[in-house]
Structure 1
Amino acid sequence: MTGILGASASSSSAGSSSAPVHGKFVHVVFFWLKNPDDQAERKQFENNLNNFISGIDYIRSSHVGTAAGTNRTVVDNSYTYCLIVSFDNKDDHDAYQEHALHQKFVTDSEALWERVQVYDSIVV
């Protein structure tokens, strides 16, 4: 699946070419892991995240990433992971929220994070 920023859902590699956002509803989620330096927990979280994203047909595009480390006063680099997914509409987003794979991701991963922040937007 091509990501919003050109990375596949299973990769967060830099240097990929840019790809357009598909869908009119964008769901952005920031995660702060409890133990961000624990590589085993990071791998588990990434696997949980990528497994659920790849199985939900409502998702039109996705991006999984980490803080870029840019140094500007308006940039928050404190999060561990960012997930951006887009949908055709709010109804598809709502169905995604109830999807069994999304629910499994939350159940399997919630012990790993200390904070989650969500921003939803629609194209204007």
Structure 2
Amino acid sequence: MSVSNRRKFIATTAALTAGAAASAMPLNTMTNKYPVIHHVFFWLKNPGSIEDRDKLVEGVKTLSKIETIKELRVGVVASTEKRDVVDNSWGVSELMFFSDLAGQATYQTHPVHLEFIKNYGHLWEKVIVYDAVDA
């Protein structure tokens, strides 16, 4: 086997090995560990107010103290391309992951969640919730 062919063989073997190893890995370990998803979208009473938006973001982050929330992500509208299927009318979102439905139920009545509603509820005019479990 020539040096050139040997190099091609080694490169091809390395690529195939890497591909096989990658395909054996789980696609998303977070969803395997935390199958209950709670996604909330908030529409601000004052949608042009960066101060109100930032205050609500601050409030949502306090929810991370709830022990049954395994992962919490807080977002604001991204400046992505405008398309008919994209809704960017909301102001703040929260994405939470729970181990099970019991943990999500605990979150709903947890004192930290109730305090969040009391302290920050005046900032939003509309809330929509999407709950899901891994399929």
Same fold (TM over 0.5): yes
Gaps of 5+ in 1: 1-17
Which of 62, 69, 90 is 2:72 aligned to? 62
Deviations 1:50-76 (A, max 9, x none): 1222x1111111110111132221110
| Residues 26-35 or 43-52, more deviating | 43-52
Tell me how many residue pairs correspond in the alignment. Answer: 106
Aligned equivalent of 2:37: 26
Deviations 1:32-58 (A, max 9, x none): 0011222332232122111222x1111
**How much has 1:109 moved relative to structure 2?**
1.1
Q: What does 1:8-87 align with in structure 2 at a 5 Å threshold?
A: 20-21=30-31, 22-53=33-64, 55-70=65-80, 71-87=82-98
Q: What does 1:85-100 align with in structure 2 at a 5 Å threshold?
A: 85-100=96-111
Q: TM-score, normalized by length of structure 2?
A: 0.72
Gaps of 5+ in 2: 1-27
Aligned equivalent of 1:109: 120
1:19–1:51 distance in 2 versus 1, CA, 3 Å: farther
Q: Distance in 1 between matches of 2:63 and 2:72?
A: 12
Q: Distance in 2 between matches of 1:41 and 1:19?
A: 35
Q: Which of the pair is proportionally richer in helix?
A: 2
How many percent of aligned residue pairs carry the same amino acid? 33
Q: Distance in 2 between matches of 1:81 and 1:112?
A: 11
Q: Which has the larger radius of gyration?
A: 2
Deviations 1:9-41 (A, max 9, x none): xxxxxxxxx984440100000000011222332
Q: Which amino acid aligns with 2:56?
A: F
